[in-house]
């Protein structure tokens, strides 16, 4: 059967091949340690599990409005006020099937075929796909280690052309686990505003930060508007540990709501209904306390890995302060290195090529979404592997 041109453009996740190999080794009984995983190793908070079970038992399983449950939109609006002291009306919040659907709706609503969208390199691999699905051309802006792999306005404006429609970036970012400074964020949104372009800011790892309080671009800009053409993306996947429930949200200018609603109606009808009812439990004191405890555990793991990796022969060139990733230099070609590391030391880390067009072959990503015991064992194996003793 003939494939579409878009189908041919879509790139696979190269990492999945490595994970398949890791799975095969595990079937053979090898004690593989996964430092490859992009989701919390904790189960969904018990409070949310209970709410989910209750939602199903109460038959809350029919379609909801396409923009999401009004109660949940209201709860997210309150969360912005209580946590970030920023007023975001519930009417500007759209609940989506994960950050993934929010990114897709944003790109479909904002990009015209042939327009360019600036993306950071390294960055989340699917972003280019969302841009391409809207007919846009992803244009990669290489970020520097000395800026913690986050762009400045100067970096972005150097890539600006008359076809540039806007910018899509993430803070904190995947694979780097680093954030934009408030100053850089201000300069970037100011520059984009002057250009009359759009900014899509993905804040999916927002509350998983370890050195500074969690921040939002909305604290700099206020709620998006005609004057501030901004879309903010977020999710219940990471901080709330609900990856499989497929629930996220976006904050949009009011003028964008009707088009986002049309895309939501047509593409998914509504987000998962029981998941939306369960998500209401995320904003209780009890759940937030569980998430805070987990954030502290991630912080301890981050501290351990940042200290231990260089001693095990892995150079770090940036300071990861968020998410659960460390982006580091591989001792040799990262593809070959990750493959050998898996085959000989049974440690599964990810080569950089999914995340970076420019330096993917040099860099690799470690995820510390694993127990301290496993991280400790992984570091010992890494040290032996890098010393040539395993």
Ligand X SMILES: Cc1ncc(COP(=O)(O)O)c(C=O)c1O
CA-CA distance, 179 to 177, in Å (whole number)? 7
Q: Would you count residue 41 as binding ligand X (CB under 6 A)?
A: no
Q: Would you count residue 98 as binding ligand X (CB under 6 A)?
A: yes
Among 152, 179, 237, 273, binds ligand X (CB under 6 A): 237
Among 94, 99, 290, 348, binds ligand X (CB under 6 A): 99
Q: Would you count residue 174 as binding ligand X (CB under 6 A)?
A: yes
Least distance (Å) between residue 122 CB and ligand X: 11
The residues, ordered by sequence, that sit 6+ positions from 327 with a Cβ below 8 Å of its Cβ are: 122, 149, 175, 176, 177, 178, 318, 320, 352, 355, 363, 364, 365
In the complex with ligand X, which residue's Cβ is closer, 70 or 244? 244
Q: Which two tokens stand for residue 199?
A: 């900014």
Residue with tokens 């209401």: 280
Residue 231 DSSP one-character state: E
Least distance (Å) between residue 197 CB and ligand X: 21
**In the stretch 197-216, what mask flags binding to ligand X with x, by CB under 6 A?**
-----x-x------------
Residue 180 DSSP one-character state: -
Would you mind telling me the total number of residues written for the chain in this entry?
390
Segment interacting with ligand X, rule: CB under 6 A, options 54-62, 94-102, 104-112, 305-313: 94-102
First to last CA, the chain: 47
Number of residues this chain uses to bind ligand X (CB under 6 A): 13
Q: Would you count residue 100 as binding ligand X (CB under 6 A)?
A: yes
166 bridge partner residues: 117, 198
CA-CA distance, 278 to 309, in Å (whole number)? 38
Residue 204 DSSP one-character state: T
Least distance (Å) between residue 174 CB and ligand X: 4
Segment interacting with ligand X, rule: CB under 6 A, options 78-86, 95-103, 186-194, 275-283: 95-103
Least distance (Å) between residue 30 CB and ligand X: 26
Residues contributing to the site for ligand X (CB under 6 A): 38, 98-100, 124, 170, 174, 202, 204, 235, 237, 243, 248
């Amino acid at each position: 059967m003939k494939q579409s041109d878009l189908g041919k453009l879509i790139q696979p996740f190269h990492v999945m091949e490595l994970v398949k190999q890791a799975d095969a080794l595990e079937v053979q009984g090898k004690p593989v340690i996964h430092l490859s995983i992009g989701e919390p190793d904790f189960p969904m908070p018990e409070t949310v599990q209970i709410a989910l079970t209750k939602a199903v038992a109460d038959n809350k399983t029919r379609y909801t409005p396409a923009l999401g449950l009004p109660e949940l939109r209201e709860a997210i609006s309150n969360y912005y006020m209580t946590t970030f002291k920023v007023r975001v009306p519930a009417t500007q919040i759209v609940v989506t099937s994960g950050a993934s659907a929010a990114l897709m709706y944003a790109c479909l609503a904002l990009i015209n075929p042939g327009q360019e969208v600036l993306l950071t390199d390294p960055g989340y691999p699917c972003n280019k796909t969302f841009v391409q699905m809207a007919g846009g051309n992803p244009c990669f802006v290489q970020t520097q280690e000395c800026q913690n792999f986050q762009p400045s306005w100067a970096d972005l404006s150097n890539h600006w052309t008359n076809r540039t429609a806007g910018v899509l970036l993430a803070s904190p970012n995947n694979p780097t686990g680093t954030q934009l400074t408030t100053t850089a964020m201000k300069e970037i949104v100011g520059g984009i505003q002057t250009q009359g372009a759009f900014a899509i800011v993905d804040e999916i790892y927002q509350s998983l930060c370890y050195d500074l309080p969690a921040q939002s671009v909305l604290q700099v800009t206020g709620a998006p508007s005609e004057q501030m053409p901004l879309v903010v993306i977020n999710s219940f996947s990471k901080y709330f540990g609900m990856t499989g429930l497929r629930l996220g949200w976006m904050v949009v200018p009011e003028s964008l709501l009707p088009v986002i609603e049309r895309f939501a109606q047509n593409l998914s009808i509504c987000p998962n209904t029981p998941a939306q009812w369960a998500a209401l439990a995320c904003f209780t004191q009890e759940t937030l306390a569980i998430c805070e405890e987990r954030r502290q555990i991630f912080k301890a793991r981050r501290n351990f890995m940042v200290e231990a990796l260089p001693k095990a022969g892995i150079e770090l060139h940036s300071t990861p302060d968020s998410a659960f990733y460390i982006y580091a230099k591989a001792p040799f070609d990262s593809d070959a290195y990750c493959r050998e590391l898996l085959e000989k030391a049974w440690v599964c880390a990810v080569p950089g090529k999914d995340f970076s067009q420019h330096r993917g072959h040099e860099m690799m990503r470690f995820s510390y979404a694993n127990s301290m015991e496993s991280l400790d064992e992984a570091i010992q194996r890494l040290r032996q592997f890098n010393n040539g003793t395993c």
